[in-house]
Structure 1
């Protein structure tokens, strides 16, 4: 692989890792991003304490992992801007970033499910209604993109990426 091609691949990898593919690919409502009003759920004291514990665990994980992601992102940018980028190292760092993000998304989902298990049927229904309202708000605020449609910028990026590889073949 020549340096020019490696540079192009690295830029494409950076762009792809920096933005989600579509609104549907995003974590729609992770703990800490949804405004669920638990006071409307008529929680028992025990439920309230357990939900607070869930949130505490989530925020500890978030506070530990976010700086790690930021450090890796700085390393990623530094590698991309080097005069002779090492494609293998760039891709390795990108994979590490994605693994950390994936770990956070998994923990967010586990936390949400754990909280939901603490609720009785009527509380779950009220929770689901609030949750759906939050998801709807997030979709309306987020670029107006439908969940199953790739934004125009992704079509352009994809076409540019194909052009990079097609030019190399000629």
Structure 2
């Protein structure tokens, strides 16, 4: 069986956006689970988002990325977890509050909310809920169309 090496980062388009076209919403995802990171990047890119996928949150702390419109953080990562990163982002925000969506396989919703997380989704991540949360927190109405009233109450906790 041949091993595949999936790239999970994207770069800005080589050509500028045509005049009159709004720029894509930028999403930064940090998750040390390579499979999850690849899936989330692919799904969001297919929905028209500009996505940067990081296998660790240390680049966020080191400031080695452009400022996104939204963060998606895994709660449990090596070196520094999503809760600590969320606290850091809220402290350094300088007045601009970039939305944070946290995904986790453990029950840490109260800790995530206390750290300033805007939306908490449990794994396995329901893509419809994730897209609805992204749409709600970015105001993006072009990339997806979701009937938020059709979502279960638990999905509405995010917005």
TM-score where L is the length of structure 1: 0.21
Larger radius of gyration: 1
Structure richer in strand, relative to its length: 2
TM-score where L is the length of structure 2: 0.22
